[in-house]
Amino acid sequence: MQILKILCSVFLNANPDVVSVGWNALTFVGLWGVFHKCGVKGWWALVPFAREYKLGTCAGRESEGRVLAVVTGLIEAASIVTVFLNEESSLYLFIGAIAFMLLVIQFIYMIRIELGLIEVFGQKKWWIIPWALLDNIVAPLWGFHKKFQPLWTVEDIQSEASNFFSGSKAQVLDQGLTVNLEERTATEFFKKKYLLRDIHMYIQPGRMVLLLGGSGAGKTTYLNAVNGYEKAKAEVVLNGTNMYKHYKEMQYDIGFVPQLDLMRGSDSVYRTLIDAASLRLPKDFSAADRSARVEEVMKIFGLTPVKDNLVSKLSGGQRKRLSIAMEFISNPSLFILDEPDSGLDGVMARELFQQLRQIADQGKIIIVITHTPDRVIDLFDDVIVLAKDAKRTGRLAFFGTIAEAREFFGKEKMEEIVKSVNRQEEGGEGRADEFILKFAEVQHG
């Protein structure tokens, strides 16, 4: 765009600054019209930095708009600072290099937003070329020509599914896990952002549950809310006890195995489990009791033959079993695992999940995230499907048995279910809101 401005100033024999002002004025006027069509106050087009954010909102790319606003502000700040510096100074060159990198980022994010705007207006993708090169012409054209109308406004983006709330809670029973999560929020860009909302379910003891959802659907956030690590506005009751109100008493009744373990490679398997027993078992356990529990757990997870081996010498499968064994020391009622099969081949993964199945069969509740669910789906009882609604908030799109999930989504494979609720720009079918509403109807039916 800068090159085009220079060419205009040369051929029109005009002051470059005047050309730049006129160019920008046309763009801002055009954006005024675009904003108005999208349901945003037009005068935001005249407000620096906020203009970029509002454009992202119109394009359904609010997060990209936030980044663009910040980057644009940093570029302007760098421009002001360089006015007071000697052009030959090292600081001037350094800030210039930073500004160049910011300009590249600005260009990338502007392209993302413009692609989103093209989608909102239902136009062909080739419009990205005029938008990138001639925004002072395209913006007024789209802003004021009747031919160009958005398929939905910013208010419409807050879709029926986004605004719908079930209003019903799962029944709290003395046994099993009850989750009544109203919302989990965070503050982002001086604005309250909903990460999760309106998730209610009851899981019976002895169930092995698969947690599905695309990237950003809130799977890890949900698990952290359930185990109390990141509390939400929620009621989480395990076997009749409220987790949030009695967290210290209940924290060892939940075993949480993250994707990455924090074990010391220089410790033996036995020493690692003894240390875990010291931390997780009640203080009235004697040393002999702790040692006996460690021996029992090693036998369960097939670690007895390698009890004296260093953690750093274990195979991937053995290391995974050890990380699970550490949490199983306290004999928790609820087991949560985030991608326990990451890095394992099919045979090793199946062996691991068979052990988890055996634990569930003892009356425990197992909740697992895995990106390759179909190779072990026969071992699961239920599936939770989280999906991002139009506001990009994690919502409950389904909870039930594997057979019910296949019928509900009309898909045989779990990976196909995830694809059906993923957004189209993520390679999915973009049907998240449809299934969120459909499941709400099932719950009320």
What does the domain layout of the chain look like in residue ranges?
2-153, 160-444
pLDDT tier at 237, thresholds 50, 70, 90: very high
- pLDDT reported for residue 442: 77
CATH superfamily of 160-444: P-loop containing nucleotide triphosphate hydrolases (3.40.50.300)
Of 14-28, 78-92, 293-307, 315-329, the range with the lowest mean pLDDT is 14-28
Which positions ≥6 away from 84 have C-beta within 8 Å? none
- pLDDT reported for residue 4: 45
Are 351 and 315 contacting, i.e. CB atoms less than 8 angstroms apart?
no
Are 341 and 353 contacting, i.e. CB atoms less than 8 angstroms apart?
yes
Residue 13: φ, ψ to 5°: 50, 45
Taking the C-alpha atoms of residue 444 and residue 335, their distance in angstroms, rounded to an integer, is: 29
- pLDDT reported for residue 215: 78
Nearest to 367, CA basis, from 392, 348, 386: 386
Using alpha carbons, list the distances in angstroms from residue 265 to 97, 132, 223, 341: 42, 52, 27, 20
Please give the angle made by the CA atoms of 207, 211 and 212, to the nearest 5 degrees: 140
**pLDDT beyond 50 at 223:** yes
DSSP state, 334?
Answer: E
Average pLDDT over residues 305-328: 87
How many beta carbons lie within 10 A of that of residue 386, not counting itself? Answer: 26
Q: Which residue has the higher pLDDT, 21 or 212?
A: 212
Tokens of 35: 């904003």
Q: Which residue has the higher pLDDT, 165 or 430?
A: 430
- pLDDT reported for residue 20: 61
Which positions ≥6 away from 388 have C-beta within 8 Å? 214, 216, 217, 218, 394, 395, 421, 423, 432
**pLDDT beyond 60 at 11:** no
Residue type (1 letter), 46: L
Are 325 and 306 contacting, i.e. CB atoms less than 8 angstroms apart?
no
**End-to-end CA separation in angstroms for the chain:** 57
Using alpha carbons, list the distances in angstroms from residue 67 to 101, 109, 112, 186: 14, 8, 11, 17
Nearest to 334, CA basis, from 442, 239, 441, 222: 239
Taking the C-alpha atoms of residue 316 and residue 335, their distance in angstroms, rounded to an integer, is: 20
Average pLDDT over residues 81-94: 84
- pLDDT reported for residue 190: 52
Average pLDDT over residues 341-365: 87
